[in-house]
Every structure is written in structure tokens, then in C-alpha cells.
């Protein structure tokens, strides 16, 4: 399929995915999974958070048979939300770095806390926590399309922020053009002085 058509299909598929960004499908984001499905590289049944409902919607969109959820990706279960035991938190920030929707707030060496409205229940914050002080608790709500849209926006905003900081880091590492030119000129001048000293010595020696 031409690239442009894959992108259009991926947009439509992505719109049906729950946007928890949990990676249970084996892809790094809902968008990446949508692109793989659009390209024919992944089946439609690898999203446990979306469950049978999402599989049915994808089957309808793509005019293909519905499949049972692939349980190697996990099982469909009610929404859970992360909660940090603040008394045990050591403020290492590792959970914040892992959270795809910026649902965790805190600062280095200070306790962290979860903004429950932003939490998608993806569980990506659990493995990095060195003191195992994050628990997943049943949510008081079900995941809605409004939640999915909010999670998509938070995820995109986070990616944009990370891309900007990485560009800034690279710019800070690479010296600006003017600095490079000054350094080059200093090296050229030193070489010229060395050459003229050598030339003067060889004239004196004759
Ligand atoms: S919700 Fe999780 S499993 Fe479903 S597509 Fe998004 S990242 Fe993949
Ligand atoms: S707080 Fe944890 S479970 Fe909730 S979205 Fe962030 S990483 Fe996922
Ligand atoms: S990973 Fe655990 S200990 Fe570290 S800041 Fe998060 S909750 Fe606290």
C-alpha cells in the first residue's frame, strides 16, 4: 500500500485505540501499533486495554474478521490507577521518567504523587521503582473516549517536550558557528606563527 494510504489508515485505526500507551501490543505507542496494523504487519487483536470492543471496531473498519484478544499481550481487565505510597517514596524520579502521560509529579529527593485523572493504568511506572512503593488500585471510573483523547494529547505533549530538550542538549554540546570559527582562526594563527618561526630559524642557519 502506498505510504500516504498507510498514514490515512493508521489515523483511522489510531482513533479507535484506547491511547493508554501501555505497550502491551508490543509497540512503543498506540500510534506505532496503528501503523503496524495499517501496513499489514500486525493483527487487530493485540490491544488488551481496548478488548473485544476495540477488536470489533477495527474489524469493522478494515472489513476483516474479528479475532479473540491475543492473551500473550495480556488480558482485558477493568481500569486501574497508580497510587504511590508517599511515606516509602525516596524521590528517585524513575517513575516520572517512565510515565507516558506525565501523570506523576514530584522532584528529585522529594516524594512523588500520581495525578489520577492523567493516569491511564499502563503500569509502566511499576518496574523502575526501586522500593516497590507504587500500587495499582481499581479506578472509580471506566475508560472513556474522552479519556483516550486526553491521554493522546498528554502523550504527544510529553514527546514534543522530550524532543525539544534533546535538541537543546545537542545544540549545547555542539559549539555555535561563531565559536567554531574563532577556534579555527586561533589554530590557523598558531600554525602560521610556527611556520614563520621555522622559516626564520632556517634563514638564520644558512
Ligand atoms: S493501548 Fe496499549 S496495547 Fe493498546 S494499542 Fe495502545 S499501547 Fe498498544
Ligand atoms: S502513573 Fe504509572 S500507571 Fe499511571 S499513566 Fe503513569 S506510568 Fe502509567
Ligand atoms: S520510582 Fe518509586 S521511589 Fe522513585 S520517585 Fe517514583 S514512587 Fe518514588
Domains of the chain with bracketed CATH: 3-73 (1.10.15.40), 78-174 (3.30.70.20)
Please give the pLDDT value at position 204.
Answer: 66
3-state secondary structure 170-191: HHHHCCCHHHHHHHHHHHHHHH
**Residue 151 burial (CB count, 10 A):** 23
Q: How far apart are CA 91 and CA 113, in angstroms?
A: 10
pLDDT tens readout for residues 95-139: 999 999 999 999 888 889 999 999 999 999 999 999 999 999 999
Across the range 49-69, mean pLDDT stands at: 98
Which ranges of the chain would DSSP assign to H, the alpha helix? 3-14, 30-38, 51-62, 94-98, 145-173, 177-205
CB 36 within 8 A of CB 10: no
User: Helix axis angle, 3-14 relative to 30-38, nearest 10°?
Assistant: 130
Picking from 17-21, 47-51, 147-151, 182-186, which range would have the lowest pLDDT averaged per residue? Answer: 182-186
Which atom of ligand 3 sits closest to the CA of residue 89?
8
d(CA 25, CA 43): 10
Ranges of beta strands (E only) in 38-118 are 80-84, 104-105, 113-114
Contact predicate 22/120, CB 8 Å:
yes
Compare 3 and 170 and report the one with higher pLDDT: 170
Q: Supply 30's cell numbers.
A: 498506540
| Model confidence pLDDT, tens digit, residues 139-186 | 999 999 999 999 999 999 999 999 999 998 888 877 677 877 888 888
Number of neighbouring beta carbons within 10 Å of residue 62: 15
* CA 120 / ligand 2 centre spacing (Å): 6
Closest residue by CA, ligand 3 atom 6: 95
**Could you tell me if the CB of 104 is within 6 A of ligand 2?**
yes
Ligand nearest, relative to CA of residue 19: 1
- Residue with CA closest to ligand 1 atom 5: 30
pTM assigned to the model = 0.83
**Number of the ligand 2 atom closest to the C-alpha atom of 101:** 5
Cα four-point dihedral sign 102, 105, 106, 112: negative
Is the C-beta atom of 17 inside 6 A of ligand 1?
Answer: yes
Q: Give the pLDDT score at 52.
A: 98
Running DSSP on this structure, what letter comes out for residue 158? H
Q: What are the CA-CA distances from residue 3 to residues 13, 35, 38, 53, 140 (Å)?
A: 15, 10, 10, 28, 41
pLDDT at position 127:
98
Amino acid at each position: 500500500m502506498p505510504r500516504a494510504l498507510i498514514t490515512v489508515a493508521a489515523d483511522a485505526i489510531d482513533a479507535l485505540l484506547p491511547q493508554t500507551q501501555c505497550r502491551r501490543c508490543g509497540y512503543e505507542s498506540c500510534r506505532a501499533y496503528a501503523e503496524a496494523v495499517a501496513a499489514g504487519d500486525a493483527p487487530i487483536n493485540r490491544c488488551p486495554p481496548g478488548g473485544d470492543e476495540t477488536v470489533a471496531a477495527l474489524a469493522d473498519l478494515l472489513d476483516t474478521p474479528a479475532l479473540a484478544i491475543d492473551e500473550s499481550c495480556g488480558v482485558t481487565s477493568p481500569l486501574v490507577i497508580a497510587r504511590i505510597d508517599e511515606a516509602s517514596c525516596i524521590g528517585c524520579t524513575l517513575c516520572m521518567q517512565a510515565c507516558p502521560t506525565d501523570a506523576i509529579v514530584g522532584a528529585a529527593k522529594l516524594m512523588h504523587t500520581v495525578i489520577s485523572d492523567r493516569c491511564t493504568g499502563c503500569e509502566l511506572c511499576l518496574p523502575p521503582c526501586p522500593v516497590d512503593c507504587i500500587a495499582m488500585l481499581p479506578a472509580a471510573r471506566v475508560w472513556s473516549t474522552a479519556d483516550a483523547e486526553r491521554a493522546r494529547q498528554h502523550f504527544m505533549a510529553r514527546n514534543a517536550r522530550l524532543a525539544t530538550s534533546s535538541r537543546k542538549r545537542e545544540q549545547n554540546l555542539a559549539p555555535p558557528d561563531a565559536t567554531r570559527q574563532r577556534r579555527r582562526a586561533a589554530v590557523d594563527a598558531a600554525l602560521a606563527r610556527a611556520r614563520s618561526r621555522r622559516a626564520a630559524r632556517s634563514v638564520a642557519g644558512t
